[in-house]
Every structure is written in C-alpha cells, then in structure tokens.
C-alpha cells in the first residue's frame, strides 16, 4: 500500500530578504523605474498579507499568461505595497533565475524565454522521511503553548513542496513512533505566563509547594530559563528573598502573577554550565567521582547510551564479558542514587562511600515495605 504526502502551497507570512535586491534594482530600465515612481504604495494593512511563496506563484501566473502586470497593478491585486512586489520580482529573477524583464511600451513585466512551471523545491525520499519523523517529535509538545507555533513552523517548511510524492512502501505512520513515560499535564496559562516573563526579562510571582511540604509558599523571582528535562518542565530563576538561583517544577506552581519590573539576566548564566555536573535537574555544590560496576547483562544496555558528558566506560574481562565499570563526575547524589537503584542487582556502587550508603539505605527501606 503506497503512502502519499501532499503539500499545499501556503507559506505563512515569510519575509524574504534578498541581498541581491539592491543590485537588481540598479539594473532596472529607466522606464521601469519611472513606472514604479509614479505608483502609490498600497498599504498591506488593507487586507491579509498573503504568504510570500504563494504570492510569487500568483506573480508568475500573471506574467506567464501575458498580462504584462506592473508593480501598481500587482500591489492592488495582492493588497500589498509596491515595494513588496518589487522585492518579490527581484527574488524571482535573481534567486529563482526566472527570465523576467520589463516592457516599457506595455508598462509591465514579461518572460523573455518560455517558462513551463514555477521552480519547485526538490527533496529526496530521505528528506521527506526526516520531515515526517520531525512531525512525530512535535507530538511531545502537545498540551503546551509550543504546540501551535511548532506545527505552524513545520507546515511553513513542508507546505513549500508543491508536488504529491508517493512512496512504494508501507504506511509511514506505522513505521515510526515515539513513546514517552511519565509525561505531565501542562497548565497552558501558567506556562504561557512564565514563558512570557522569561522572554521579556520581567520579574514574576507565584505560589510554590516544594517537595516534602504540605503547603504553598509565596515566591518572587527573576526567571532566567525554562527547560524540559525528562518530560518535566522546570523554571530556573533567581529567588529574590533567598538571594539564590533556584529550580522550580511547573506542576508545583500555581497563581502565577506577571509584573512590570524588568531585570537583566547575568551575562555569564548558561543553562549548560549550570546543569553540566548534574545527572538531571539537581545541581549541587559538591564534587563526587562516581564509580559504578554493571554486570554483563546491564553492560550493553548502559554502554549504548550517553548518560552524562563526563562518563567513561571501561570493559571488564575479555571484551567486556564480565561487565563494565563506569565513572562520572557529578555535583549531587540525589538523582544518581535513584538511577542506580533502577538497575536492581545488575549494578554495584564502588565509590564514593556516601553513595553506597544512600543506595543501601534506600534498598533496605524497599525491603521493609
């Protein structure tokens, strides 16, 4: 059963900046310049501004049909300014290599050579598959304010393809999928307010229930960064009362209040640096050299993935037949403790002693339960 991807011509309000536009305008004939100078601009506010690629398709059709359109007529028809029309003409001629010239006797543009079709975007089968997989990835953002703009951006790219492309193999939808465990329900209003405060560098207030607490506390912060870590959204912000950089889980927030107080984010703040020595989201002030041993069963599973930038893996026995030893450099032991426990009897803590104690105590509590 073949699978068909159909793409409509519809790119959303894209502005194309053409570095060759200036030189192209210099090459216009005197008659074309005079024609342009006597045309009053038509404000794009008169109506919806059509997507630029679709707009150029209409310009192409007018010229191909021998209607000799000029900037004024095209601007009125498309409800845009004459300058926008001229930019589109420049782009079509200089970037798409269409043989557009201006006829001073008919006061309009024409093709000096036969043009069969408007230049299309050529893609390979592999690129189409990549686009499809990318669309699948977008499903991870369902329920967040990013969903709509991400899908819009995706369709801006895919809708530029004009042809129907048929593949002689099974349904793509049955061939690729993503599965995420432990996803959280998103509060769209809360998320939107926080993202706005981060982007605008505005202080924000909210109520927060920290882990282990039974009540909410008032917080006033300067929000630096929003990050999705293991399917959970976190806000990294400077707590004004505690005078420290803190991490807040969005599901534990409520009653977000935007303010008009601006702040300047520190120039040296980088989320990659802040989380560089953490195993997930917890970033401590310590320094721990972790040594773990995994048996032969877990060795391959552990080795197949990159768990941390500092990880080093050493095979044990001949070709790793006796397992592996992994070393990590971390600033906090909270998340690595839970990760080690998830491997059950397939993992053993060699160092440090504090981590051994944590894992042993947690295992004993499990047995008591």
Q: Could you report the per-residue pLDDT of 284-301, keeping only the tens digit for each?
A: 889 999 999 999 999 999
Per the CB < 8 A criterion, the answer to whether 99 and 113 are in contact is yes
pLDDT above 60 (res 34): no
Residue where the block lists tokens 């029309």: 85
Q: Could you report the per-residue pLDDT of 42-61, keeping only the tens digit for each?
A: 333 334 444 477 788 888 88
What is the model's pLDDT at position 125? 59
Q: How far apart are CA 312 and CA 318, in angstroms?
A: 18
Per the CB < 8 A criterion, the answer to whether 100 and 63 are in contact is yes
Q: Could you report the per-residue pLDDT of 307-363, keeping only the tens digit for each?
A: 999 999 999 988 778 999 999 999 999 999 999 999 999 999 999 999 999 999 999
What is the model's pLDDT at position 329? 96
Looking at 12-16, 124-128, 179-183, 307-311, which range is the least confident one?
12-16
Mean pLDDT, the chain, rounded, equals 78
Q: How far apart are CA 234 and CA 226, in angstroms?
A: 6
| Percent of the chain surpassing pLDDT 90 | 43
The pTM of the full predicted model, rounded to 2 decimals, is 0.58
Two tokens at 335?
């998340």
Give the DSSP letter string of 215-232: S-EEEEEEEEEEEEETTE
With H, G, I as helix, E, B as strand and everything else as coil, classify residue 137: helix
Looking at 73-77, 234-238, 249-253, which range is the least confident one?
73-77
Confidence of residue 110 (pLDDT cuts 50, 70, 90): very high
Q: How far apart are CA 129 and CA 113, in angstroms?
A: 36
Radius of gyration of the chain (CA): 30
Per the CB < 8 A criterion, the answer to whether 259 and 202 are in contact is yes
What is the model's pLDDT at position 282? 87
- Over residues 126-133, the mean pLDDT reads 64
Dihedral sign of CA atoms 269, 272, 273, 274 in order: positive
Give the DSSP letter string of 20-88: THHHHHHTS-HHHHHHHHTS----GGGS----HHHHHHHHHHHHHTT----HHHHHHHHTS-HHHHHHH
Closest by Cα among 110, 111, 107 to 33:
107
pLDDT above 90 (res 260): yes
Q: How far apart are CA 131 and CA 63, in angstroms?
A: 33
């Amino acid at each position: 059963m073949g699978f068909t991807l159909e793409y409509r011509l519809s790119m959303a309000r894209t502005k194309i900046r053409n570095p060759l536009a200036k030189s192209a305008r210099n090459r216009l004939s005197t008659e074309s310049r005079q024609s342009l100078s006597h045309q009053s601009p038509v404000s794009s506010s008169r109506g919806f501004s059509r997507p630029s690629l679709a707009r150029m398709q209409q310009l192409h059709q007018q010229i191909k049909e021998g209607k000799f359109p000029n900037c004024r007529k095209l601007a009125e028809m498309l409800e845009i300014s004459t300058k926008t029309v001229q930019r589109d003409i420049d782009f079509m001629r200089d970037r798409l290599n269409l043989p557009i010239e201006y006829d001073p006797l008919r006061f309009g543009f024409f093709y000096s050579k036969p043009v069969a079709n408007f230049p299309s975007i050529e893609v390979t089968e592999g690129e189409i598959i990549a686009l499809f997989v990318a669309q699948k990835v977008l499903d991870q953002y369902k329920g967040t304010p990013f969903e709509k703009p991400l899908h819009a951006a995706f369709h801006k790219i895919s809708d530029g393809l004009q042809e129907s492309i048929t593949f002689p193999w099974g349904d793509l939808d049955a061939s690729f999928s993503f599965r995420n465990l432990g996803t959280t329900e998103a509060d769209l209003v809360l998320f939107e307010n926080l993202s706005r405060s981060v982007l605008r560098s505005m202080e924000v207030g909210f109520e927060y229930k920290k882990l282990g607490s039974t009540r909410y506390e008032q917080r006033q912060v300067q929000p630096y960064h929003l990050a999705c870590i293991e399917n959970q959204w976190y806000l990294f912000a400077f707590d004004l009362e505690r005078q420290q950089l803190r991490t807040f889980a969005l599901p534990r927030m409520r009653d977000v209040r935007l303010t008009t107080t601006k702040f300047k984010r520190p120039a040296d703040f980088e989320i990659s640096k802040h989380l560089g020595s953490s195993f997930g989201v917890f970033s401590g002030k310590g320094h721990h050299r972790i040594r773990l041993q995994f048996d032969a069963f877990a060795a391959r599973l552990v080795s197949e993935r990159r768990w941390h930038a500092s990880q080093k893996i050493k095979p044990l026995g001949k070709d790793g037949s006796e397992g592996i030893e992994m070393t990590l450099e971390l600033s906090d032991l909270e998340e690595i403790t839970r990760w080690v426990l998830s491997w059950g009897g397939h993992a053993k803590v060699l160092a440090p002693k504090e981590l051994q104690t944590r894992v042993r105590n947690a295992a004993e509590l499990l047995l008591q339960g």
